[in-house]
Structure 1
Amino acid sequence: MRKIILAAAIATSALGLAACSETTETEAEETVDAMEADADAAGETVEATTAEAANDVEAAADEAADTAVKTTDEIGDAAEAAAADVEAAAE
């Protein structure tokens, strides 16, 4: 009789563990799914931020290039004016 009671207790414990394991497995799957969604969202945010930063850098580089061209033109104009003044003074 003791063996039957012990076997019943073991069977009950095994069923309890099996049910617990199924719940744990489901919760683990849900956690993994949530982590995957979070990783996807983070990846999209990084991608958007990187694209925005690249556009900002490109715009700043274009502006710097335009400023450099303008400055170079102004220096060239000033040099021509100085040369003209020197020629006029030499005459």
Structure 2
Amino acid sequence: MRKFTILAAAAATALSLSACSEKTQDAAETTAESAGNDVANAADNAAAATDELGNKAAKAVDDAAAATDELGDKASAEAKKAAAETKQTAAEAEASLHNESVAEAKAD
């Protein structure tokens, strides 16, 4: 009977250890799963932030291009205006030198 009691106690101890081991494995699995989820969430957040920065950079480039186009248009208009004024001044000077009207000087 004593051997049976020792054997039963050993079996009970083995079952207890087995149950502890299973709980430990479950806890480790839960921890690993949680860590994996945290890494996935961090990667998603980083991707979203990268996309947002990319969109902001693209908008800044578009805005700069639009501003450059606008400045180019203004510079072109100013250059045309200056050319017209120069042409008028030259015609007036020629008309004065040749004793003719400005319209005649422009026709020459």
The two structures have a TM-score, normalised by structure 1, of 0.75
Q: 2 CA distance for matches of 1:58 and 1:12?
A: 68
- For residue 72 of structure 1, what is the aligned residue in structure 2? 65
Aligned partner of 1:45: which letter?
D
Runs of 4+ in 1 over 4 A off after TM superposition: 8-16
Would you say how many aligned residue pairs link Structure 1 and Structure 2? 84
| 1:52-73 superposed Cα distances (whole Å, 9 cap, x missing partner) | 2211111111111111100000
Q: Which of residues 45, 49, 56 is equivalent to 1:56?
A: 49
CA offset at residue 26 of structure 1?
1.2
- For residue 41 of structure 1, what is the aligned residue in structure 2? 34
Bigger Rg, structure 1 or 2: 2
The two structures have a TM-score, normalised by structure 2, of 0.65
Q: CA RMSD in A?
A: 2.0
Q: Greater CA deviation, 49-58 or 25-34? A: 49-58
Which 5+ residue runs of structure 1 have no aligned equivalent? Answer: 1-7
Q: Equivalent pairs: percent with the same residue?
A: 24
- For residue 27 of structure 1, what is the aligned residue in structure 2? 20
